[in-house]
Amino acid sequence: MKRPKILVLYTGGTFGMDENLEIPDLSAPALKKRLLSRVPEMARIADCTIRVVFNLDSCQMGFEHWLKLAREIRSSARDFDGVVILHGTDTLAYTAAALSMLLSPCPRPVVLTGAQKPLDSLRNDARSNLLTALEVAGNGPRELSNRVMVAFHDEVYLGSRVRKHSAFDFGAFESPRFPRLARVGSGIHYEPILRSLPKITKKAPWIDSIPDPVPSLPRILKIEVTPEFPSESFEGDWLKRLDSILLTLYPSATAPTMHPGFMEFIHRAGKNGTNILAITERSHAPVHMGSYESGKVLKKAGVKWCADLTPEAAYVKAMLTHLLATTPKVFDRLWDHPLSDETGGAV
Ligand code: ASP
């Protein structure tokens, strides 16, 4: 059988670090030699072309790195059957969300993976994660052919729905509000949910509309509500300098709205033209802002609800929406339009 051609984009992370978690000097030929000597089976699964795009701890990655990866995939992916990205786990969820939104519809399946233990350690997950990612990218079903996914440990998820939830377990990721796409055991079992993923209908991916060079990036700050929210600290000019606040509400999408200072802060932000985008972190079931009185108050005050987006996906969507929107009205229109790959088609 002909082996699929896979483009492997290396970006760094624990996967390729040495046993002391230090970053080695890596060129593409050196990485290829190392990968093939540690994981010779990869050559049985696919004909791999390896490129070192970055060699960073993913805590150092941000918008320019997402854009560079997206552009690399946009320009090269059609020469391959699939793309695998090796990435640090700390910000993998942000990159996966960014690529999902920038590239949709993706020219080829893109599978991100990484590791909790470096490839050089005795008990490592790097080897099996790489093999799974190559299999999914090279031989996955048709329904996944234009999606961004994350393969980690024994699961495959939609890229826009993952969160890192453990720095210890090999199962480092979860997809709290969308079912996994596949389960890995003695083989790869693709779940029936694949049949109900709607087609991605968008014609041109967002990446085509991102200005080049990118003007200054939007300023987005994440804040979590607490009892006795210190609203008075949010006075003064600095609120004016924020484009959006990602506000983490209590788990049932509520906030201390009877606290007079809190609502004053919400109204002040609105007057300054700062969007307040509300998320919840800890619920695995769908939550609705407005089920409780407090949520209704927030809605009435103009707080925008992120529905079941993960905080990482909400952050990325806010950043891209700001970059694409020329006016607040366009921002609202884009924000309210859920992307099928952002939700997995769940709405
Ligand atoms: N700090 C590392 C990174 O995100 C952690 C990892 O890769 O697991 O790059």
Question: Whole-structure pTM over 0.85, yes or no?
Answer: yes
Tokens of 225: 């509500």
> Is the CB–ligand 1 distance for residue 11 below 6 Å?
no
Distance 23 CA to ligand 1 centre (A): 11
310 labelled catalytic? no
CATH number of residue 172's parent domain: 3.40.50.1170
Q: Show which of 196, 228, 260 is a domain's final residue.
A: 196
Q: Would residue 137 count as lying in a domain?
A: yes
In a domain, 59, yes or no: yes
**What CATH number does residue 244 fall under?**
3.40.50.40
Dihedral pair phi/psi, residue 98, rounded to 5°: -65, -45
Q: Is residue 201 part of a domain?
A: no
36 with 64, same domain: the answer is yes
| Residue of 23, 26, 54, 58 to test ligand 1 pocket, by largest number of atoms within 8 Å of CB | 58
Catalytic residue among 14, 95, 274, 321: 14
Give how many domains the chain has, as a whole number: 2
Domain match, 224 and 308 both: yes
Instruction: With H, G, I as helix, E, B as strand and everything else as coil, classify residue 178.
Output: coil
Contact between residue 173 and residue 145 where contact means Cβ atoms under 8 Å apart: no
The pLDDT value given to residue 347: 26
Residues 159 and 274 in one domain: no
Q: What was the pLDDT predicted at 262?
A: 94
Partners of 190 in the β-ladder: 182
Q: Which of 107, 106, 103, 108 is nearest to 4 (CA)?
A: 108
The two three-digit tokens of residue 16, written as one number: 């390729």
In this structure, the answer to whether residues 178 and 230 fall within a common structural domain is no
Q: Are residues 61 and 154 in the same domain?
A: yes
Residues in the chain: 347
Structural domain range at position 13: 5-196
- Are 186 and 231 members of one domain? no
Give yes or no: residues 17 and 144 share one domain. yes
And the tokens for 181?
């796409």
pLDDT value, residue 338: 63
Q: Over the chain (347 residues), what is each successive 10-residue block's mean pLDDT?
A: 94 92 88 92 95 96 97 96 98 96 91 96 96 97 94 96 94 92 96 86 83 90 94 80 94 94 92 92 82 96 90 94 88 74 41
Asked if residue 203 is part of any domain, the answer here is no
State whether 79 and 144 are in the same domain. Answer: yes
CA–CA dist 245, 140 (Å, integer): 38
